Structure 1
Amino acid sequence: MNNLTIFQDHTRNLQPLPQKNPHVTTLLAVGGWNEGSRKYSDMAATSAGRKRFAQLAAEFVERYGFGGLDLDWEYPTQREGRPQDKDNFVLLLKELRASLSAKGLELSVAVGADPNMLGVAYDAAGIAEHVDLVNLMAFDFYTAATSNITAPNAPLGSSFGAYSVERSVEQWLAAGVPAEKLVVGVPLYARTYTLADPARHGVGAPALGPGAPGAVTQEPGYLTIYELCMIIEDESWDLSEENGIYFAYKGDQWATYEPLTEIRKKAQYVVKKGLAGVMVWPLESDDVSGVCGHGSSPLLRELNKGLGRI
């Protein structure tokens, strides 16, 4: 089975959703971490490249029945990109806006939440001018790949270090993104570490690297919520909290996660700030089957409660 066949199968599963719920719009996401940055930098470097990409993207989205496109270039000017990417990104979005709008289609963009990247990789006001939504990937502030101490994945406030959801949101708002266009990303997974000393297991403890991979995802440093809850129960991990940062540990393994109460707080923060809403990554990492004892998809349910939707 080739990639196009797989894509078409997934598309057929999505197409009935807008008919079942008129409030649902399905967008086709292009890009992501594994796609890298170089190819987007090359394409966006010329007017012809930008125009051709925009035309093909709009035709593809329309052909397969999507309501729009979400562009996830990770990241302009970074990872073998060009300094000119910051400006070229806005020009690319302008072309996409024109091509998609002509077909009645929407455009959103995913952006990194690292405060050090804003201004270097992104012209926030320029981006906001051409898109319907700006999806702020407000997670992975700290991971075992970037930190040699245990640290929270996506803290709402600044109880640890310089990075937090609140700080990133404030910076993007101040840089020119209207609140009604800004969407806050919420992770549905835990980040894990291997402790240098099992006796030192608090926040900020020395770490040797990522934690052991989960049985399902098989990715070091990463556990879905259902993987984590099963490990905690089966292996009798200890649970703890420091200054609003929640974590679990056993032996040399350490995981940071957000309980249901914290998930709801993030949604309430979005409402308080008048933001556009929340997005999650990745959807399948929630406890869809309810194996953790909180019912099906408890994280999504708490987000909806915090948003006042249920």
Structure 2
Amino acid sequence: MKKFSSSDIVRLSHQVFDVELNGLKQLKQRVGDEFVAAIELIMACKGHVVVIGMGKSGHIGNKISATLASTGTPAFFVHPGEASHGDLGMITSGDLILAISNSGETEEVLTILPLIKRMGAKLISMTGKPNSNLAKNSNVHLDISVTEEACPLGLAPTASTTATLVMGDALAVTLLEMRGFTKEDFAMSHPAGSLGKKLLLGIEDVMRTGEDIPRVPLNADFAMALLEMNQKGLGMTAVVHNNGQVAGVFTDGDLRRTLDDLADLKEKTMVDLATPNPVLIHYKKMAVEAAQIMEAYKIHSLLVVNDDEILVGALNIHDLLRAGVV
């Protein structure tokens, strides 16, 4: 076995980058009328984009279908081998087929072409052979050919699969722009992701309610407020009127300032010690807005109120962290 130095290893990796980058530059130069036609076909499709491909093309096709689906173009992947054994029933005349085959002669794909044609579904193909049977039988053909593979043996699909993947990304992102797809739309299809949590979680989903809300009445003394803060663990307590309307807030910062001046502390109530007109957030707001408010005001907790500024909840930065909002 040949021994490779560190510089040899780095050089080999650079060769791969160079070959694949060159393939992408060639691919970019070929994007034109056929790409536009493919986009127009997909935009006109009333059903799903059904991606098919065998082997490495199938793996890339799976990723392309997932990218399309998550960026506003309904899509799914069908294995062409399984399609011949029943899965073809998943495809309807209103769908559009995106068939991927570097050779354009993949038997499992060609076998189902007559059936696709018979049902009237449109066909876009991605191949590295514009004169192949698959290319010739397509409504639109996208040329994904490369002059060489990064594999020194010229056998393992490398540059060609990269070119296919990038062409799929180009389709998905172009369609995203044309559909006016937004961050909010993206979040709807990724509710468990970080963006979905930021854009979809409401204050009501993360706030503490009921007995977990720290609160004391206006006439509460310092000791009662301190006990409430310790028990509820939010680093503050609301000070409320008899009807639950927020009159102020007493925070850790207020506590430190109070302890700096112990004079007549026993004679004072929360009316005297609390900070009036605290920063509040409405319970119908989004959780990400709470994070923005905390950042803007350099605070770690918020009181949650309804339309009448009646206290209905409380939350702190740790609640937002646990929910994945920040």
| TM-score over 0.5 for the pair | no
TM-score w.r.t. the length of structure 2 is 0.24
Which structure carries more helix by proportion? 2
Richer in strand (by share) = 1
Q: Which has the larger radius of gyration?
A: 2
TM-score by length of 1: 0.25
